[in-house]
């Protein structure tokens, strides 16, 4: 199996789009997971539904909604364009936004699992030793959860690479810019005689996903031992 | 034994369980003694601040920690109370030394009357300092937990059946360490147990609880009873 420069471009685009998406989505996922699992407020159910919506919505709908909000004519996208001259739709950053939103529910779930693996009684002990809420989070909760958080990031990264519908709808299929592996596969399948090439890229996607998921599982197992469970 | 070092009055309802208990603790070791389900651990949680009773007042050395009527409720991290649990609850990601210093580092610089080396010495945990908690035996872990609570510079030390997870030989060893700690640092200890032997060995003052109420409080002579010296509920039946 040899990869052409075009293939490498798709791999590179995938890594950039998914890497950027994961880097931005993980901190937000951590915050969201904490809010959902630790606070009790009126809008909690609504927030949970909003976060999980991409899981059950068609990715095309997600991409379309992103266009409505973050497109140049949309309320947020229009503002970004006027004030900063930034355009999200049909750009690499936009591809990251679409991929990140699609993968977000999965990341929040994995992050919640990571935090739940830490024994809450350790926090009570830390509190009795003089640690306030923020202090406990940094000194106990986060260090105990880190293998699970890295695992959540990996799962999110793999999901971002795999995201298709939202990316192509919001960011289009531009080689070197928004054309990640699944979009390149789609483009190959549309071209006459592109099947063999598509198969190569599909194999590559499969290998990436399997390696990522095995690493994520291994990290979770390590995390359970690490946190003394 | 001098006068009252602290006073506790708590009233709360947890499901069908009613707790309504008031007592005074002395310098030295005050033993909360009673059968399982009497409310001993619930009282400790309220004193530590982990549980907010429906009504009550807790005063420690002139400092009001809780007064529901006056809406005073000092958060647990500012109560200056050390807590030793049934399970040691050491932080698995820190070394033994990291665990010991956790509370010490969070105590104000001016308030560090209890020194690291003195605690390590008294509890004989010097050889363990670089070890990970998961590699410790139950007795070792509990000694480290006692040291960690002491280094937090507490004005009161809570011990919630600290021997219950240990085998017979280790229990005697830990009791000896608790006596040594009490002698060396003179921190009042509120000790929860349902074992008459432990109570008799440690108690300067006894508070007997039954079904959520204090049935008697006073000197160690309260521990004399029909079962004196005999069954401890833990002997083979």
H-type helices in chain B, by residue range? Answer: 40-48, 96-106, 116-123, 138-151, 168-185, 196-202
Contact call for A143 and B93, based on CB within 8 A: yes
Q: Residues A83-105: what's their mean pLDDT?
A: 94
- B11 lies in some domain: yes
Contacts of A121 in chain B (CB under 8 A): 85, 87, 89
> What pLDDT score does B226 carry?
52
- In chain A, the residue whose alpha carbon lies closest to the alpha carbon of B89 is A122
Architecture of domain A5-226: Orthogonal Bundle (1.10)
Q: How far is A148 from chain B (nearest CA, A)?
A: 14
Q: Residues B162-188: what's their mean pLDDT?
A: 91
User: Which residue range(s) make up the domain with B203?
Assistant: 4-223
- In chain B, the residue whose alpha carbon lies closest to the alpha carbon of A140 is B91
Contact call for A226 and B92, based on CB within 8 A: yes
Contact call for B83 and A125, based on CB within 8 A: yes
**Contact criterion met (CB below 8 Å) for B177 and B120:** no
Whole-structure pTM value: 0.82
Residues A170-218 pLDDT 10s: 999 999 999 999 999 999 999 998 888 899 999 999 999 999 999 988 9
Q: Is the pLDDT of residue A37 over 90?
A: no
Neighbours of A2 (CB within 10 A): 5
**Contact criterion met (CB below 8 Å) for B204 and B29:** yes
Contact call for B102 and A129, based on CB within 8 A: yes
Which pair of tokens denotes residue A145? Answer: 């959860």
Q: Is the pLDDT of residue B111 over 80?
A: no
Contact call for B92 and A121, based on CB within 8 A: no
Residues A55-66 pLDDT 10s: 999 999 999 999
Q: Which residues contact B180 (CB under 8 A, 6 or more apart)?
A: B122, B123
Q: Residues A145-170: what's their mean pLDDT?
A: 93
pLDDT band at B235 (very low <50, low <70, confident <90, very high): very low
- B12 lies in some domain: yes
Q: Residues B180-200: what's their mean pLDDT?
A: 92
Q: Please tell me the distance from the alpha carbon of residue A139 to that of residue A126, in angstroms, as a whole number.
A: 9
Residues A96-136 pLDDT 10s: 999 999 999 999 999 998 888 778 899 999 999 999 999 99
Q: How far is A140 from chain B (nearest CA, A)?
A: 8
> What pLDDT score does B234 carry?
43
Contact call for B89 and A125, based on CB within 8 A: yes
Delimit the domains of chain A by residue range: 5-226
Single out the residue of A62, A10, A51, A75 nearest to residue A168, CA to CA: A62
Q: Please tell me the distance from the alpha carbon of residue B207 to that of residue B36, in angstroms, as a whole number.
A: 15
Residues 90-119 on B with a CB inside 8 Å of A are: 91-93, 102-103, 106-107
Residues B194-217 pLDDT 10s: 999 999 999 999 999 999 999 999
Instruction: Find the helix packing angle between A181-190 and A195-226, rounded to 10°.
Output: 160
Q: Is the pLDDT of residue B228 over 70?
A: no
> What pLDDT score does B232 carry?
43
Which pair of tokens denotes residue B192? Answer: 């929860």
pLDDT band at B2 (very low <50, low <70, confident <90, very high): very low
- B236 lies in some domain: no
Residues B24-75 pLDDT 10s: 998 999 999 999 889 999 999 999 999 999 999 999 988 999 999 999 999 9
What CATH number does residue B28 fall under? 3.40.50.300
Comparison of pLDDT for B101 and B233, the residue scoring more: B101
Contact call for B85 and A121, based on CB within 8 A: yes
On whether any CB of chain A is under 8 Å from the CB of B77, the answer is yes
**Contact criterion met (CB below 8 Å) for A125 and B81:** no
Dihedral of CA atoms A83, A86, A87, A93 in degrees, nearest 10, equals -140
pLDDT averaged over every residue in chain A: 91
Total domains in the fold of chain B: 1
Residues B125-142 pLDDT 10s: 999 999 999 999 999 999
- B229 lies in some domain: no
**Contact criterion met (CB below 8 Å) for A74 and A158:** no
Contacts of A138 in chain B (CB under 8 A): none
**Contact criterion met (CB below 8 Å) for B75 and B49:** yes
Choose the mutation target among A128, A224, A229 for the interface with B, i.e. most B CBs under 10 Å. A128
């Amino acid at each position: 199996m040899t990869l052409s420069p075009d293939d490498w471009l798709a791999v590179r685009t995938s890594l950039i789009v998914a890497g950027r998406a994961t880097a931005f989505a993980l901190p937000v996922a951590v915050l969201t997971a904490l809010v959902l699992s630790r606070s009790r407020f009126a809008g909690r159910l609504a927030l949970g539904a909003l976060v999980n919506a991409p899981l059950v919505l068609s990715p095309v709908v997600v991409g379309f909604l992103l266009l409505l909000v973050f497109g140049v004519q949309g309320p947020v996208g229009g503002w970004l364009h006027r004030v900063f001259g930034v355009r999200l739709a049909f750009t690499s950053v936009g591809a990251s936004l679409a991929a990140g939103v699609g993968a977000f529910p999965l990341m929040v779930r994995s992050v919640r699992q990571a935090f739940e693996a830490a024994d809450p009684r350790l926090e009570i002990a830390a509190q009795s030793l003089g640690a306030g809420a923020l202090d406990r989070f940094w000194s106990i909760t986060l260090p105990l959860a880190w293998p699970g958080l890295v695992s959540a990031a990996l799962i999110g990264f793999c999901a971002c690479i795999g995201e298709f519908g939202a990316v192509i709808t919001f960011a289009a299929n531009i080689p070197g810019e928004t054309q990640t592996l699944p979009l390149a596969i789609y483009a190959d399948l549309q071209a006459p005689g592109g099947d063999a090439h598509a198969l190569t890229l599909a194999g590559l996607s499969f290998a990436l996903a399997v390696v990522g998921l095995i690493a994520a599982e291994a990290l979770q197992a390590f995390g359970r031992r690490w946190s003394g469970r | 034994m001098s006068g009252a070092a602290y006073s506790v009055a708590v009233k709360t309802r947890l499901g069908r369980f009613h707790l309504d208990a008031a007592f005074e603790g002395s310098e030295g070791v005050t033993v909360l003694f009673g059968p399982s389900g009497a409310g001993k651990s619930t009282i400790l949680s309220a004193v530590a601040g982990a549980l907010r009773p429906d009504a009550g007042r807790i005063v420690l050395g002139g400092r009001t920690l809780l007064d529901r009527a006056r809406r005073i409720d000092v958060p647990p991290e500012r109560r200056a109370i050390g807590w030793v649990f049934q399970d040691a609850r050491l932080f698995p990601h820190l070394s033994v030394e990291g665990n010991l210093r956790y509370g010490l580092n969070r105590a104000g610089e001016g308030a560090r009357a209890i020194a690291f080396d003195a605690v390590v010495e008294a509890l004989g945990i010097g050889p363990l300092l670089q070890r990970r908690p998961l590699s410790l035996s139950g007795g070792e872990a509990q000694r480290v937990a006692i040291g960690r609570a002491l280094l937090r510079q507490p004005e009161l030390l809570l011990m919630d059946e600290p021997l219950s997870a240990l085998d017979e030989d280790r229990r005697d060893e830990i009791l000896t360490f608790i006596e040594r700690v009490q002698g060396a640092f003179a921190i009042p200890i509120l000790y929860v147990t349902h074992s008459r032997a432990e109570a008799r060995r440690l108690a300067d003052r006894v508070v007997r609880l039954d079904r959520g109420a204090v049935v008697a409080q006073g000197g160690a002579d309260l521990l004399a009873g029909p079962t004196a010296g005999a069954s401890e509920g833990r002997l083979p039946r």
